[in-house]
Amino acid sequence: MEDARIDVPGGQIGVWRRPARMRAGTTVLVHGLSGNSRWWGSVIDHLPTELGIVALDVRGRGDSADAPAPFDLTTISDDIARALDHFEVDRAIIAGFSMGAWIVALFGLRHPDRVERLVLVDGGFPLPRDPDADADAIIEAVVGPSLARLELEFDSEEAFFDYWKAHPALARHWDERMRPALGHELERIGDRFRVRANPEAIQVAAREITVGVEANAAAARLDVPTHLIVVERGTADQPPGMIPLEIAEKAAAANPRLSLEYIPGLNHYTLALGDGAPAVASAIARR
């Protein structure tokens, strides 16, 4: 794996990639709301070594923290096409985790000819919400903790990792192998450490995945082979998962091109960072 930069209108974004070998094909990996490309590290460890990888740091996160606006999910979905063009890849398996699932669903609608298969990893479909709540309350309820992390400062790198070790989703599942994924978001400012992310980019995406009409309608309209993975528990290790099983089952019943995989015992974060990585890798590599 190596770092690379690709051009987008007005600037560049960072990607973490390796070229395909032996005509094995390529997968594009899109991370979650306040994550980064390294969140895919454990999944990549379980993928065939000959498979090409293009893991984006989407605008406003990780190595793309300084990338230009706009930060809407449709623009980011078109950045996938730009990445494919840059690396001269015609078609790919496109996988998105959490927010990334909404992005790749939009990509599947806008660029179906470039899709070999989509993998939506615990995201992409409308989240359950109180119909009487206003938009700001819905956003705060669903993604408040992720947004709050952007305001924190840490005395040391280890203090930052202590934060994650105590996180409700990871406290019982911490593994030292999670450090590269989480640490990629950290930057030093003077004698303090902060998350390297653009708050405006996070806010725009948070609004789209919670109350956005276009983003939440995309997955239901897909006409490409799509695999959806959902888990038992959510971002704070609470039931249900990010996409409740009943919502996922209705979506699969309504679209013959959508297959569904439910994994009990995992939460939203351990699906990508922990014990769920082999299953996610299997879904991506499956022919």
pLDDT, tens digit, 9 for 90 and up, residues 68-115: 999 999 999 999 999 999 999 999 999 999 999 999 999 999 999 999
**pLDDT higher than 90, residue 130:** no
Using only C-alpha atoms, the chain has a radius of gyration, in whole angstroms, of: 17
Q: Which residue has the tokens 């298969």?
A: 117
Tally helices (H) and strands (E) across the chain. Answer: 11, 10
Question: Which residue is listed with tokens 């494919």?
Answer: 84
Is 32:39 a contact under the CB 8 Å cutoff? yes
Rounded-to-integer distance, Cα 120 and Cα 133, Å: 27
Residues 215-264: tens digit of each pLDDT: 999 999 999 999 999 999 999 999 999 999 999 999 999 999 999 999 99
Query: Structural domains in the chain?
Result: 2-285 (3.40.50.1820)
How does pLDDT run across 173-219, given as a tens digit for each residue?
999 999 999 999 999 999 999 999 998 999 999 999 999 999 999 99
Quick one: which of 54, 74, 47 has its CA closest to 13?
54
Mean pLDDT in the chain? 95
**What is each CA distance from 19 to 55, 100, 275, in whole angstroms?**
12, 22, 26
Q: Which helix (H) or strand (E) holds 99?
A: helix 99-110
